[in-house]
Amino acid sequence: MHLGSISFDPSKPDAASVLQSSAHALPSCEAVLGLQPGVLLKALCKRKLKVVKEWVEQDLSVASANDNRDALSKAIYSRLFDRVIAQINTALAAESSADGDVTPRTIGIVDIFGFEVFVNNSLEQLCINFANEKLQALFTRAVFKETIEAYKQDGIDAAEITFTDNAELLKLIEAPQTGVLSILSEECLVPKGSDGAFCEKERAREGV
């Protein structure tokens, strides 16, 4: 975050230098990374070239300095992420061994986004959206519905807990005989089935 706060002076496009307004981020970055003062500034704004047998420093352009900063940020984030994952894996493996559990423990991450709408939506996109909504329903049941039910059993007022239930949306897609997938499957089995006929059945169901 400190690194991303560093900006370069646009008035010197061919010789990058850090803007005074963002210079405070440099020592913060160097402290976190364990660098000596001035090392990061030089690394961001200059490059070394070997001329014959000697190394010489050359100023970087503002564009190159920006690329330098962004590349360093991405590299740090990537290595930090890998380090965190390695530490988690080590901790989970140690806990499993201590408990005598031969099944490795895992942490699952669910990315619940919901519907995406494009100019042209394919069957593949419908299936992706449907899977996302099923995950959302699972999340809703686990986090909200079961929590509210537990509160009621304990005599706790849960009226303030509100959420959006997507049950009607799922019914629209997966309901037997009347759902989108059911009507689509039926149209695929009908002789001379067509996109137009499928759309007409959907319009009729919706009363359009």
Three state DSSP letters for 82-124: HHHHHHHHHHHHHHHHHHCCCCCCCCCCCCCCCCCCCCCCCHH
What's the pLDDT band for 182 if we cut at 50, 70, 90?
A: very high
**Cα 53 from Cα 77, distance rounded (Å):** 36
Q: Would you say 9 and 60 are in contact if contact means Cβ atoms under 8 Å apart?
A: no
Does the pLDDT of residue 158 top 80, yes or no? no
C-alpha distances (whole Å) from 26 to each of 14, 21, 66, 168 are 21, 11, 14, 53
Q: What is the model's pLDDT at position 174? A: 92
Residue-level pLDDT at 79: 92
pLDDT score at 61:
92
| DSSP code of residue 5 | G
Predicted structure pTM score: 0.48
**Range name among 18-27, 68-77, 98-107, 139-148 with the lowest pLDDT average:** 98-107
The model's pLDDT over 83-139, given as tens digits with 9 standing for 90+, comes to: 998 888 888 887 666 666 667 777 766 666 656 777 887 888 888 888 888 888 888
In this prediction, residues 40-65 reach a mean pLDDT of 87
Residue 13 has pLDDT above 60, yes or no: yes
Given a cut of 80, is residue 195 above it in pLDDT? yes
Pull the structure tokens for residue 51: 């001329």
When pLDDT is averaged across residues 33-59 and rounded to a whole number, the result is 87
The whole-number average pLDDT for the span 32-57 is 87
Query: Considering only CA atoms, which of 144, 137, 120 is closest in space to residue 173?
Result: 137
Residue-averaged pLDDT of the chain = 84
Quick one: pLDDT at residue 152?
Answer: 82
Q: Is the pLDDT higher at 93 or at 42?
A: 42
Confidence of residue 48 (pLDDT cuts 50, 70, 90): confident
Can you tell me the distance from the alpha carbon of 14 to that of 65, in angstroms, rounded to the nearest whole number?
Answer: 10
**Phi-psi domain of 191 (left: phi exceeds 0; alpha: psi -120 through 50; beta: other):** beta
Confidence of residue 156 (pLDDT cuts 50, 70, 90): confident
